[in-house]
Structure 1
């Protein structure tokens, strides 16, 4: 039977991989004060007033996703770093699930590999989260959020729920590499 720490590690790995990937795909990293415009890593939303009721339209930057259409170099770098980290977290979660179902004699190397993968993922995701606000001074962001916008100052926009979810998911992902080091502990060793 797998140890409780192994099961917690596998569950946490899946949860943070899903949370961070969901956050990566959402266009609500920064939101305008009137809630008509929002910006994410790969897409943005704007209020469409052609209809009798206000309807929000969301699109990828440039129509179809293309890294070169993202309006800021900092956002492009952040997209690569955070998205790459999400991919590595998903790989780590897959390995964690596999470790949970293989015999105990074969768990050490895949567990170590998953722990290293998760460590690298967390580090590059932190870098992506820190680089993203550097793009707040871009021309397209200033167009919507005011000319006062600059790096780390969003002007008339607020930090959105997707950015906060990404921060929280990354913060929780920090625990995954640590838990991976203790997956071979038995329940009797933990509760003794």
Structure 2
């Protein structure tokens, strides 16, 4: 039977992988206070006014996904970093599920290796999260959120829920490499028994 720490590590890794990837794909990293305009890593939303109703339309920058179409260089760098971290954490989630099926002798070696990969994933995701707000001073962002926008100050826009979800996912992912080092602990090692 797998160790409880191994099971917690696997579940946490899978949940964080889903959370960070979901956050990466959403267009609500920064949202305008008074309108439907919102901006994400790879897509944005705007208000489409038709004859009798207003609806929100979300699209990739430039119409289809391409790194060259992301309008701000800092967002391109953040996209590569945060997206790369999401890919690494997703890879580690897949491997962590497979680790449960491995013989105990291979589990420890594999979990330590995946723990090191998770450290790299955490670092590059955090770098992406820190670089993204540097693009707030771009003319593209200022056009929608006012001339008061600058690096780390969003002007008339505010931080959206998907940026906060990305921050939360990256913060929780710090625990994965730590847990990976203790996946071989047995229940008797964790709980004091007489």
Q: Which residue of 2 aligns with 1:188?
A: 188
Distance 2:121 2:165 in 1: 16
Q: Which residue of 2 aligns with 1:27?
A: 27
Q: Which residue of 2 aligns with 1:78?
A: 78
Q: Which residue of 2 aligns with 1:133?
A: 133
Counterparts of residues 132-171 of structure 1 (less than 5 Å): 132-171=132-171
User: For 1:51-105, what per-residue CA distance to the aligned partner results, in whole angstroms no more than 9, with x for missing partners?
Assistant: 4121000010011111011111100000000000000000111111111221212
Over aligned residues, Cα RMSD in angstroms?
A: 0.8
Q: Mean Cα displacement is larger for which, 93-102 or 58-67?
A: 93-102
> In the alignment, is residue 111 of structure 1 matched against residue 106 of structure 2?
no
> In the alignment, is residue 2 of structure 1 matched against residue 18 of structure 2?
no
Distance 1:109 1:13 in 2: 17
User: For 1:100-157, what per-residue CA distance to the aligned partner results, in whole angstroms no more than 9, with x for missing partners?
Assistant: 2212121122111110111000000000000000000111111110011111110000
Query: Secondary structure, in 3 states, of the residue corresponding to 1:107?
Result: helix
Pairs aligned (count): 192
Distance 2:185 2:24 in 1: 34
What TM-score, normalized to structure 1?
0.98
Q: Mean Cα displacement is larger for which, 11-20 or 136-145?
A: 136-145
Unaligned runs of 5+ in 1: none
